[in-house]
DNA sequence: TTGCGATCTCAACCTAACTTGAGGTCAAGC
DNA sequence: GCTTGACCTCAAGTTAGGTTGAGATCGCAA
């Protein structure tokens, strides 16, 4: 089977990629530095991207939007064959993990909100018996570990 | 009316405050630097906290937990009479705002999750008609502005 | 009065995700 | 062939929320 040759028109400059993805040029360069994309180079050392890179970058934006860090996205992409942009099947696997994460975040926020509501109602602050001031259970974790609240 | 004198036993060292709040000593110093607490000083320049400072710090922890930045917390506390720790009434006002914020966050996450579910089901990635790849409406904002997704 | 743990200040470092600037090169149109 | 806008690299800066370390001082208790 003949391998399709790269027509010059298939190669996209970084500015064009930026325009099409909404990313800044510097962000794209940064993503390359992080190993998230690997553009080709011209003889003059300028980056040239493939169409699939745009999808790849869009995927990164979405995954980021869903709460993954660049490091996590990188490792998700790294598990795919070199240079491949996720297919539907890949996406299914990745998204299942993301889904679990979203569920947890939502549950956590809802729990917090309920607690807050209770607190507004009870008008405490007199402390020592307020759910939000005195959370026994793990209130999720987004900082450096849970903190004891209240002296 | 006689002003209550500060008995030495009412003054708390930073280490003690750390123990009682679960904060690190360095975090407490950092909070002072940010204007969130204003401990007294001994003749030897060591910090001495009031009991109310512990509540104040606990309030900070809770507000942080609820998603406020230190800057926001600072401005919330700044609107109170100098050095006062929020009372139930203050708390009610502040928490109403926080509540709205939580609601928005939850709604956003739920919307995202639903979208993700649709996407898993539709098995797309062929793009151009996928809700998550093509979000028209504002997908919330936690970065430097919304991005166009998809080329 | 001496020992020593707790504190002090100040500066530097940390992560994440980028941006900004300086100084230099590429490439396409006229 | 020249101009000009787009690109290049590399270093440093940014924000948030702190931590870490050095070197000096406090203050309580024996």
Encode pLDDT of A33-58 as tens digits.
Answer: 999 999 999 999 999 999 989 988 98
**pLDDT at B55 > cutoff 50:** yes
CA distance B147 to chain A (A): 5
- Pair of tokens at residue B99: 């509540």
Closest protein CA to C1' of nucleotide C6, residue: B15
Q: Round to a whole number and report the distance in Å from the CA of A2 to the C1' of D20.
A: 60
A45 CB below 7 A from strand C atoms: yes
CB contact under 8 A, B23 and A151: no
CB contact under 8 A, B105 and A103: no
Closest protein CA to C1' of nucleotide D6, residue: A15
Q: Average pLDDT over chain A, rounded to whole? A: 74
Q: Which has the higher per-residue pLDDT, B99 or B31? A: B31
**pLDDT at A10 > cutoff 50:** yes
pLDDT digits 0-9 by tens, A106-117: 888 888 788 777
Q: Average pLDDT over chain B, rounded to whole? A: 74
pLDDT digits 0-9 by tens, A65-107: 778 899 988 888 877 665 566 666 777 777 777 788 888 888 8
Cα–Cα distances in Å, from B79 out to A124, B57, B85, B91? Answer: 20, 16, 11, 12
Closest protein CA to C1' of nucleotide D5, residue: A15
Query: Region B35-49: what's the mean pLDDT?
Result: 96
Where residue B7 falls (left for φ over 0; alpha for ψ -120 to 50; beta otherwise) is beta
Q: Which has the higher per-residue pLDDT, A130 or A23? A: A23
What does pTM read for this prediction? 0.75
Domains of chain A, CATH where assigned: 3-116 (1.10.1660.10), 121-151 (no CATH)
pLDDT at B81: 60
Chain C positions within 7 A of any protein Cβ atom are 6-9, 16-20, 25-27
Asked whether B21 and A151 are in contact (CB, 8 A), the reply is: yes
Chain A residues in contact with B15 (beta carbon < 8 A): none
Size of interface A-B (CB pairs under 8 A): 120
Q: Round to a whole number and report the distance in Å from the CA of B123 to the C1' of C28.
A: 42
CB contact under 8 A, A112 and B102: yes
Give the separation between CA B13 and CA B44, rounded to whole angstroms: 13
Asked whether B60 and B24 are in contact (CB, 8 A), the reply is: no
Asked whether B23 and B59 are in contact (CB, 8 A), the reply is: no
Q: Round to a whole number and report the distance in Å from the CA of B104 to the C1' of C10.
A: 41
């Amino acid at each position: 089977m003949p391998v399709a040759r790269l027509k010059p028109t298939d190669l996209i400059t970084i500015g064009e990629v930026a325009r099409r993805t909404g990313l800044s040029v510097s962000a794209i360069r940064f993503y390359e530095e992080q190993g998230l994309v690997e553009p080709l180079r011209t003889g003059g050392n300028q980056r040239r991207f493939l169409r699939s890179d745009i999808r790849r970058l869009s995927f990164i934006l979405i995954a980021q939007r869903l709460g993954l860090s660049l490091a996590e996205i990188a490792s998700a992409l790294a598990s795919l064959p070199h240079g491949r942009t996720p297919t539907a099947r890949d996406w299914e696997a990745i998204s299942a993990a993301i889904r679990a994460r979203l569920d947890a975040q939502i549950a956590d926020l809802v729990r917090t909100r309920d607690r807050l509501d209770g607190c507004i109602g009870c008008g405490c602050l007199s402390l020592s018996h307020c759910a939000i001031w005195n959370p026994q259970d793990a209130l999720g974790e987004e900082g450096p570990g849970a903190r004891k609240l209240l002296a």
